[in-house]
Amino acid sequence: MAKRWVPIHLLLLWMLADISESRLSLFAPNAVTLEETSKANITITSSLSVNESTVIEFNVTYSSKQNYSSIITLPGQVVLPAGATSVTFNVTSHEVGQVTTHLQNNNTDLNRIRFMVVRSNILTGISQVIGWIYFLAWSVSFYPQAWENWRRKSVVGLNFDFLALNLTGFIAYSVFNIGLFWIPYTKEEFLKENPNGINPVDANDVFFSLHAVLLCLIYAIQAAIYERGGQKVSWTALVLLLIGWTFALVSLCLAIAQKITWLDYLYYFSYIKLAVTLIKYVPQAYMNYRRKSTEGWSIGNVLLDFTGGTFSILQMILQSHNNDEWQLIFGDPTKFGLGLFSVVFDILFMTQHYCLYRKPRQYEAITEQPED
């Protein structure tokens, strides 16, 4: 009796078809926001229709309160009917808080849903508007100084230590943002270490940091071609920059040697940015004091930076109140540090400009006419 051989490509297709039938993926919203004492319908969709009814269980992995049912009422399980590709279930919120649950089935890939119960959706909308205000204010704040340099064809009055530190800080911040927003491996590491957290970096954070690097480079070009009055980067600033970049290089070697995770490496860059923010304004403030003048240092930059910092802090306070989670203020030390220290130094700069070193009123000399 002759044996019948199955062509290899048909065998592979059969194996793939068998795998696809035995495995399905469930898709649901990553995050759902509800007001207190409200209801919502959530839809779960599958990657393919099932031949028989499939039970999907809810496995709660995190709750901001000891009893998650005090925050939200979830079904213990839902059933995806045979031949269907989606199922809808109802949830009811009670108190402010956060609950994270995984969808689970023997034949499914896990899919996480984070439920956030807030005091008011209006406050959520206001918080988003405030976020865009401070994002625009901080982004636009770089232009008055560039305009001032171009108008005067001079960078006298703009401290070079501030320029060097600012450029380094925003390069470090860009590395952190790009790593957490665009690199899948580090995003996966973040979710493993923070299974109930949400990635703190958004697209506007990446744009802001890259935009800041570009404008800082424009400042550097202006410093190279315009009148500088003998200014140069001080040895103190050079030593601080050397320490910062040496720290980054050592951290890179440790990450390559797997002594630290790549996620830790990215966080070290955020700490470099925070450290730079702590010290970068000091040389400029001291220079203004020594010169008894703020000429060459754009007050437009200061006012916009003050606006951005103030609204950034206001947004964090609103979010903390709305989510009843005051740790949000300290959960992103770089963002909180940026807002707080920017506001403190901007107040100092405004005091220098408008009070301490205010320009005297200019009068035009009038020559006396000889009497007839």
pLDDT at 45: 86
Single-letter amino acid code for the residue at 276: V
| Phi, psi angle pair for 198, to nearest 5° | -115, 140
C-alpha–C-alpha distance, residues 264 and 248, integer Å? 11
C-alpha–C-alpha distance, residues 306 and 304, integer Å? 5
pLDDT at 324: 77
The answer to whether 74 and 92 are in contact (CB under 8 A) is no
pLDDT at 288: 95
C-alpha–C-alpha distance, residues 372 and 370, integer Å? 6
In terms of Cβ atoms closer than 10 Å to its own Cβ (0-12, 13-18, 19+), residue 362 is exposed
Residue found by looking up tokens 């970068």 in the block? 280
Single-letter amino acid code for the residue at 188: E
SS (H, E, C) the chain: CCCCCCCHHHHHHHHHHHHHHHCEEEECCCEEEEECCCEEEEEEEECCCCCCCEEEEEEEEEECCCCHHHCEECCCEEEECCCCCEEEEEEEECCCEEEEEEEECCCEECEEEEEEEECCHHHHHHHHHHHHHHHHHHHHCCHHHHHHHHHHCECCCCCHHHHHHHHHHHHHHHHHHHHHHHCHHHHHHHHHHCCCCCCCCCHHHHHHHHHHHHHHHHHHHHHHHCECCCCCCCHHHHHHHHHHHHHHHHHHHHHHCCCCCHHHHHHHHHHHHHHHHHHCHHHHHHHHHHHCCCCCCCHHHHHHHHHHHHHHHHHHHHHHHHHCCCCHHHHCHHHHHHHHHHHHHHHHHHHHHHHHCCCCCCCCCCCCCCCC
Token pair listed for 152: 């005067």
The answer to whether 335 and 309 are in contact (CB under 8 A) is no
Q: Residue ranges of the domains in the chain?
A: 23-118, 121-356
Using DSSP bridges, classify how beta strands 77-80 and 31-35 pair: parallel, antiparallel or unpaired: unpaired
pLDDT at 76: 84
Q: Which CATH superfamily is domain 23-118 in?
A: CalX-beta domain (2.60.40.2030)
* This prediction's pTM: 0.76
Consecutive 10-residue averages of pLDDT for the chain (372 residues):
46 44 69 90 82 84 86 89 87 90 71 87 90 90 95 94 96 92 85 68 86 96 93 94 95 93 91 89 95 93 92 84 70 66 91 87 53 54
The answer to whether 60 and 68 are in contact (CB under 8 A) is yes
pLDDT at 354: 94
Dihedral over Cα of 113, 117, 121, 123: its sign = negative
CA distances from 311 to 18, 89, 136, 305 (A): 55, 38, 11, 10
Nearest Cα residue to 114 out of 136, 91, 135: 91
Single-letter amino acid code for the residue at 82: A
Supply the Cα-derived Rg of the chain in whole angstroms: 29
Which residues contact residue 281 at a Cβ distance below 8 angstroms, ignoring those fewer than 6 apart? 162, 341, 345, 348, 349
